[in-house]
Amino acid sequence: MDLIQILALALLQGLTEFLPISSSAHLILLPVLLGWQDQGLAFDVAVHVGTLLAVVVYFRVELRRMLADWLASLAGSGQTADSRLAWAVGFGTIPVGLAGLLFADSIEQHLRSPLVIAATTVLFGLLLWWSDRSGARRRDEYSIGWKDVLVIGCAQALALIPGTSRSGITMTAALMLGLSREGAARFSFLLSIPVILLAGGFEARELFRQAGPVDWQALGVGTLVSAVSAYLCIHFFLKLVARIGLTPFVIYRLLLGAFLFWVFV
């Protein structure tokens, strides 16, 4: 890959991983539209590491409290708001993990086409709009109960379909359950940590099975750019989402879906 491709793909991953517009769709479509060769598994692992670093660093204070209280709960010290949130993140990851084990190969073979991405981009964009308009928006992420975990976790499993958007579908479900925009976004971002770990681990396992040279400079640049862009994306999204809502992202999804239908139909 040349420097332009490295920067473009890493920036795209960093921005779209946490915005409700689907990172997988953009990473599939951009090389197709520009005629670029596939970036390879090593680069995919590198940009996943970058986005993971970004979300862990951004939520480092909350994660430290969650981990400490979760360990204390295991030792029988009782539950706190932070330990319950940690359990919610853990259990909310189970559905997507199971779905990945069962259906990842089928999805890879049959659902990575531009038309599937166009359809899911539009459909789940409209669901995002409806949940943002109709949700009560009265609760924060610490109020999440087991029913909420089940619904949001199962919704997250749908994000294996390209174009759905993991952050978008989890925010949609959380808003439908009455969470505020900030609470829905924060829980979605916390929920991304084990998911990115699982995805990166799966890709790393596949990478280790392959023999070949590694462009460490490209991987380093990709990791750094994706980390910085993802951190800034999280920061400004959480600052602005309560004020601007999710309609701008819905409009973008509808325009992108219409463009893909126009190009590929």
What is the DSSP track for 88-145?
HHHHHHHHHHHHHHHHHHHHHHHS-SHHHHHHHHHHHHHHHHHHHHH----B-GGG--
Entry pTM = 0.93
Return phi, psi of residue 42, to 5°: -60, -40
Are residues 186 and 238 in contact, defined by beta-carbon separation less than 8 angstroms? yes
Burial label for 46, CB within 10 Å (0-12, 13-18, 19+), is buried
Ordered by start, the domain boundaries in the chain are 3-264
Q: In this predicted structure, what is the pLDDT of residue 211?
A: 62
pLDDT in tens, the chain (265 residues): 789 999 999 999 999 999 999 887 788 788 878 888 877 767 888 888 999 999 999 999 999 999 999 999 999 888 999 999 999 999 999 999 999 889 988 888 888 888 999 999 999 999 999 999 999 899 999 999 999 999 999 999 999 998 999 999 999 999 999 999 999 999 999 999 999 998 888 777 777 776 667 778 888 999 999 999 999 999 999 999 989 999 999 999 999 999 989 988 8
DSSP H or E stretch at residue 206: helix 181-208
Sign of the CA dihedral running 167, 169, 174, 175: positive
Q: In this predicted structure, what is the pLDDT of residue 167?
A: 96
**How many C-beta atoms surround the C-beta of residue 6 within 10 A?**
22
> Residue 241 and residue 247: Cα distance in Å, rounded?
10
Q: In this predicted structure, what is the pLDDT of residue 212?
A: 67
Q: In this predicted structure, what is the pLDDT of residue 52?
A: 95
- Residue 22's region, left for phi above 0, alpha for psi from -120 to 50, else beta, is left
Are residues 225 and 7 in contact, defined by beta-carbon separation less than 8 angstroms? yes
Return phi, psi of residue 78, to 5°: 90, 170
CA end-to-end distance (rounded Å), the chain: 30
- Structure token pair of residue 80: 């706190």
